[in-house]
């Protein structure tokens, strides 16, 4: 049985389906901050355990053979909203969780990290970064992922085989949909307003990858010979794109569906910018991403219509806005107590 932490999330819910399609059994551990929508078609096929990774019960690992770790805060705005919680969840809890896995004899462990650890600012030298490049993450999110990486690598030995996947910015449809990722945002803006706005002249670089390719990469690393992945770091991306180029690819995908204008803003040159090499995972494991931006966008549009995900203003599609709303409600409930029931 495979344990997927954060398995009800944007990537996790897609990964669960891929794992099930391979005939494996799955247990999901998730705090369910965004509810169970991502697993609504899979709930009868999996075990679902609700919980916080900071307070992990090692009994959840009973019967588990391998782990895929996605639980955590997932972008810069969430990390900056509460830096202490970000460090506690993304770094400290990951370290503690991995130590428990090792103690329980679970060897195979994949970790969802981020290519944003390579970012050193818009005006930095434009260099293609690989897994051996020096990194000096500045943002709270990237720093928490990097320190978690180091903790996992320190645990790697013949008894514990962690592999780290530095993921490019993810795009594509998920049952736990997000519209706060650049391609998905472009699709949402095109469908709702007919125009895309590109900041900083669209000159910044990003490595991007479809959510299904992320799932495939993690599965490949879990199944690969241990000597090829133990203690290794792999960058995963479909391609490096300039953001203006990306906007034009989205516009191309929408031809015949929606007329789209692209507006370019030449102010605010403070955006992140970085490019990465994916030769290592291609060479060692033979991994080749399959899903292009055009293919992903066309599928996204079909799925949005099929599952009625066109309520684009719903805060549940935007991680930081949803987190802020939950935080406000939490503070209010502390003052008011239960809404209808009297506390006993």
Q: What is the residue-level pLDDT of the chain in tens, covering all 344 positions?
A: 999 999 999 999 999 999 999 999 999 999 999 999 999 999 999 999 999 999 999 999 999 999 999 999 877 778 687 888 889 999 999 999 999 999 999 999 999 999 999 987 765 667 899 999 999 888 889 999 999 999 999 999 999 999 999 999 999 999 999 999 999 999 999 999 999 999 888 989 999 999 999 999 999 999 999 999 999 999 999 999 999 999 999 999 999 999 999 999 887 766 788 999 999 999 999 999 999 999 999 999 999 999 999 999 999 999 999 989 998 998 888 888 887 776 65
- Rounded Cα distance between 93 and 111, Å, is 13
Q: What's the predicted TM-score (pTM) here?
A: 0.94
Residue 343 counted as domain residue = no
Closest CA to 136 of 124, 149, 150, 146: 146
Residue 296 counted as domain residue = yes
Residue 330 counted as domain residue = no
Residue 14 counted as domain residue = yes
pLDDT at 333 (0 to 100):
85
Which residues form the domain of 300? 2-323
- Rounded Cα distance between 170 and 321, Å, is 19
Residue 84 counted as domain residue = yes
Closest CA to 171 of 39, 17, 303, 277: 303
Closest CA to 66 of 249, 187, 188, 221: 221
Query: Into how many domains does the chain fold?
Result: 1
Residue 102 counted as domain residue = yes
CATH number of the domain residue 116 falls in: 3.40.50.720
Residue 183 counted as domain residue = yes
pLDDT at 120 (0 to 100):
76
The CA angle 128-133-138, to the nearest 5 degrees, is 95
Q: Sort 47 into a burial class: Cβ within 10 Å, 0-12 / 13-18 / 19+.
A: middle
Number of residues that make up the chain: 344
């Amino acid at each position: 049985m495979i344990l997927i932490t954060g398995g009800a999330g944007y990537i996790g819910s897609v990964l669960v389906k891929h794992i099930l399609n391979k005939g494996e059994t799955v247990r999901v551990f998730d705090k369910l901050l965004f509810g169970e929508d991502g697993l609504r078609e899979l709930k009868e096929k999996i075990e679902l355990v609700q919980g916080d990774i900071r307070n992990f019960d090692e009994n959840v690992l009973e019967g588990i053979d391998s782990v895929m770790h996605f639980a955590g805060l997932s972008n810069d705005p969430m990390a900056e909203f509460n830096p202490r919680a970000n460090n506690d969840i993304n770094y400290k809890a990951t370290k503690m969780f991995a130590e428990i896995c090792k103690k329980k004899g679970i060897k195979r462990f994949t970790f969802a990290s981020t290519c944003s650890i390579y970012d050193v600012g818009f005006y930095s030298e434009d260099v293609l970064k690989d897994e051996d490049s020096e990194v000096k993450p500045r943002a709270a999110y990237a720093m928490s992922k990097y320190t978690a990486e180091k903790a996992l690598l320190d645990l790697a030995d013949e008894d514990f085989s962690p592999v780290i996947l530095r993921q490019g910015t993810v795009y594509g449809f998920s049952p736990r949909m997000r519209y706060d990722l650049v391609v998905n945002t472009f699709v949402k803006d095109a469908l709702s307003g007919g125009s895309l706005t590109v900041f900083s002249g669209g000159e910044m670089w990003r490595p991007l990858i479809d959510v299904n390719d992320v799932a495939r990469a993690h599965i490949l690393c879990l199944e690969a010979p241990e000597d090829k992945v133990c203690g290794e770091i792999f960058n995963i991306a479909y391609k490096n794109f300039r953001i203006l180029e990306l906007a034009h690819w989205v516009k191309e995908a929408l031809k015949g569906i929606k007329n789209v204008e692209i507006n370019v803003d030449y102010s605010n040159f403070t955006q992140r910018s970085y490019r990465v090499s994916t030769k290592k995972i291609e060479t060692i494991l033979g991994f080749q991403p399959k899903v292009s931006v055009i293919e992903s966008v066309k599928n996204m549009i079909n799925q949005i219509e099929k599952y009625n995900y066109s309520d684009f203003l719903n805060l549940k599609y935007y991680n930081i806005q949803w987190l802020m709303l939950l935080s406000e409600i939490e503070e209010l409930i502390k003052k008011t107590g239960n809404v209808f029931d009297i506390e006993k």
